[in-house]
Amino acid sequence: MPEMMPTALLFFLAAAILPVLPQYLRALLLLAVPVLAGIILWNIPEGMLAQVGFMGLELEFMRIDSLSRIFALIFCLAAFLGNLYAWHVRDRVQQVAGLIYSGSAIGAVLAGDLITLFLFWEGTAIASVFLIWARRTEGAYHTGLRYLIIQIGSGVILLAGAVLYHAETGNFVFERMQLGSPATWLIFLSFGIKCAFPLLHNWLQDAYPAATVTGTVILSAFTTKLAVYALARGFAGTEILIYIGAAMTLFPIFYAVIENDLRRVLAYSLNNQLGFMVVGVGIGTELALNGTAAHAFAHILYKALLFMSVGAVLFRTGTAKGSELGGLYKTMPLTMVFCVVGAASISAFPLFSGFISKSLILSASVKEHYYIVWAVLLFASAGVFHHSGIKIPYFAFFAHDSGKRPKEAPPHMLLAMAITAFFCVYIGVNPEPLYALLPYEVKYEPYTTTHVVTQLQLLFFSALAFTVLMRTGIYPPELKSVNLDFDWTYRKAGPAILRYLRAVAGASGAYLGSVLSGWAIGIFHRFQHSTGPEGRLAQSWPTGAMVLWIAILLGVTLVVSFLS
């Protein structure tokens, strides 16, 4: 009875036996599990298939409908491609974490109630952090901790929201909700953190480039798309999402243009692509939701392809910084081709996957008369082409020759990239099979003259702008730099303000200043002083003092008893 078994369990069981297997069996298992899961998910009927009683609640582990199925399937595909790409990895920690991570993501998508969703939501958070820690550097450790705190925080907020939701409605059913009560706002916020809404987004650009070469590929597929799915399920048609999404498409562009680390550029462009999906969820019509699902599907593929190609470069050269790369097309021609396919897809060139999915969302926005949003999305599309479509391949493989002559990527990476690239092109040329998977019936023809011509105009002018800027030298050069983002406020500005206050307070206010700046440390030391092993609160007390406490407590209890 494969349909009775939660698909996530398949992944977890595999993760449980994986550590004891020899390497080649491990790698095979990593490929077999997503395939098996995909076949099961493809074939099982719709409905609520697996209930588990838990503390008097009915947990729904297998909600199969058209929306959850397409997300679960693309997750299986992404897991397969990611694992194929990671064929060479011998590290059991990464392998187990990758399996649990993808299994949790699929479990979360198939969750029919908020508690199940929460369990898998936290599962993705905890498993994925090991992909970052697996790099085993000091920086990665701290980045991982920051990432973990934010992700777990999102889960805790979700749980709080779920509890309030239960108090309001008497159930935990995860269906479409209306923003308005604290419960739904909390759930919305939790989804928003995972979806990297503007100002909540920093964990993404912080963590993804810090993971291992293969870890980033896996990371890029699941967490944020899970959040998009959750929004589509819970908050479709919530108007505020349109504007949040529009903002999301815009602001990462500028960061992406000036960023030097190519993997971070991709992280910013990932954020920007999420914006399109969020807009689609916000519009909430059948066409728009189809667009969101299709775009998520296509996006996972081409984003994975881009991360794979940049990852291959990093794998071979040891760096992903634009300023240190260039001219690699000479020795890594295949990787370059795949990278260009990914770039063309993300830029929505006709005949590539991005085109047939993004135009659904754009058309939906026009149809619902959100013209300004439509214009924003158009501008963002041009921006995407700019930083992902041109910048990534250009700086990595062309530009000025860095003198590096690395070997071509290893065969399994090439194979993974080739399969992914094939899907990108295939979907672009023949969108019907993807459209058939979408949540609602599709009557959409992407290849009309207007669409194609509009898109090409946009792309060519954007390319022209890039060329002109490069030729005239106005384009921001790839510099070794660190760009400030919102996380600066809590990582740097907060402490700096304290230091500033201390400075202006001057001699007379030195005491105040020192109190402010030494606040955290002081509290820590005070606690350590009073509660540490030698501290007043934790040391062994003389027997008499203990007895005194008994007397005091008895006295108080007696007084309370007599007075009340």
Partner 1 sequence: MAAGRATNAAEPGAAQDAGHAVEHVALTLADQLPMLLILVPLVAAPLIVLLGSRRLAWPLAYGAATASFVMAVFLLMRVIGGEVISYHIGGWAPPLGIEYRVDSANAFVLFLVTGIATVVLPYARTSVAAEVDGQHGTLFYAMFLLCFTGLLGVVITGDAFNVFVFLEISSLSTYVLIAAGAVRDRRALTAAYDYLIMGTIGATFFVIGLGLLYMATGTLNMADIAERIADQTGNRTVRAAFAFIVVGVGLKAAIYPLHLWLPNAYTYAPSAVTAFLAATATKVAIYVLMRFMFSVFQPLYLVEVKTLEFIIIPLALLAMFAASVIAIFQTDLKRLLAYSSLAQIGYMLLGIGFLSETGLTAAIAHLFNHGITKAALFMGVGALVLRFGNSYCDGVAGAGRTMPWTSAAMVIGGLSLIGVPGTAGFISKWVLVQGALEAGWWPVAMLIVLSSLLAVVYVWRMIETLYLQPAPERAAAGEAPLSMLVPMWLMALACIWFGLNTELTLGASLSAAKGFMAGSPGLILAGH
Tell me how far, at minimum, the Cβ of 156 lies from partner 1, in Å: 8
The strand pair at 51-54 and 47-48 is best described as unpaired
Q: Report how far residue 13's alpha carbon sits from residue 33's, in angstroms, rounded to the nearest whole number.
A: 10
- The total of other beta-carbon atoms located within 10 Å of residue 554's CB is 10
Tell me how far, at minimum, the Cβ of 154 lies from partner 1, in Å: 15
Q: DSSP readout, 25-56?
A: HHHHHHHHHHHHHHHHHHHSPSEE--EEEETT
Tell me how far, at minimum, the Cβ of 350 lies from partner 1, in Å: 47
Q: Which three-class secondary structure state does DSSP give residue 412?
A: helix
Q: Which of 111, 119, 274, 346 binds partner 1 (CB under 8 A)?
A: 119
Helix H or strand E segment including 58: strand 57-60
Nearest to 244 by CA among 191, 205, 204: 191
Tell me how far, at minimum, the Cβ of 41 lies from partner 1, in Å: 24
CA distances from 151 to 146, 159, 265, 277, 361 (A): 9, 13, 22, 21, 28
CA distances from 229 to 324, 455, 466 (A): 38, 27, 34
170 binds partner 1 (CB under 8 A): no
Q: How many residues in the chain?
A: 564
Nearer to partner 1, 167 or 464 (CB): 167
Tell me how far, at minimum, the Cβ of 3 lies from partner 1, in Å: 21
Q: Which of 460, 461, 511, 549 binds partner 1 (CB under 8 A)?
A: 549
561 binds partner 1 (CB under 8 A): yes
Tell me how far, at minimum, the Cβ of 560 lies from partner 1, in Å: 5
Q: Which of 3, 156, 420, 484 binds partner 1 (CB under 8 A)?
A: 156
- Residues 49-68: x/- map of binding to partner 1 (CB under 8 A)? -----xxx------------
Q: Which stretch binds partner 1 (CB under 8 A): 76-84, 118-126, 286-294, 400-408?
A: 118-126
Q: Report how far residue 33's alpha carbon sits from residue 100's, in angstroms, rounded to the nearest whole number.
A: 11
- Report yes or no: 360 and 277 within 8 Å, Cβ to Cβ: no
Which positions ≥6 away from 494 have C-beta within 8 Å?
Answer: none
Nearer to partner 1, 145 or 456 (CB): 145
- Report yes or no: 124 and 104 within 8 Å, Cβ to Cβ: yes
163 binds partner 1 (CB under 8 A): yes
Tell me how far, at minimum, the Cβ of 155 lies from partner 1, in Å: 9
- Residues 486-525: x/- map of binding to partner 1 (CB under 8 A)? ----------------------------------------
Nearer to partner 1, 104 or 216 (CB): 104
Q: Which of 118, 235, 268, 423 binds partner 1 (CB under 8 A)?
A: 118
436 binds partner 1 (CB under 8 A): no
Q: Which of 167, 240, 375, 456 binds partner 1 (CB under 8 A)?
A: 167
Nearest to 200 by CA among 306, 274, 111: 274
422 binds partner 1 (CB under 8 A): no
Tell me how far, at minimum, the Cβ of 430 lies from partner 1, in Å: 43
473 binds partner 1 (CB under 8 A): no
538 binds partner 1 (CB under 8 A): yes
Nearest to 420 by CA among 333, 339, 349: 339
Helix H or strand E segment including 63: strand 63-64
Nearer to partner 1, 54 or 371 (CB): 54
532 binds partner 1 (CB under 8 A): yes
Q: How many residues bind partner 1 (CB under 8 A)?
A: 36
Q: DSSP readout, 336-397?
A: HHHHHHHHHHHTT-TTSHHHHHHHHHHHHHHHTT-HHHHHHHHHHHHHHIIIIIIIHHHHHH
Residues interacting with partner 1, by CB under 8 A? Answer: 54-56, 118-119, 122, 156, 160, 163, 167, 527-528, 531-533, 535, 537-538, 540-541, 543, 545-547, 549-550, 552-554, 556-558, 560-562, 564
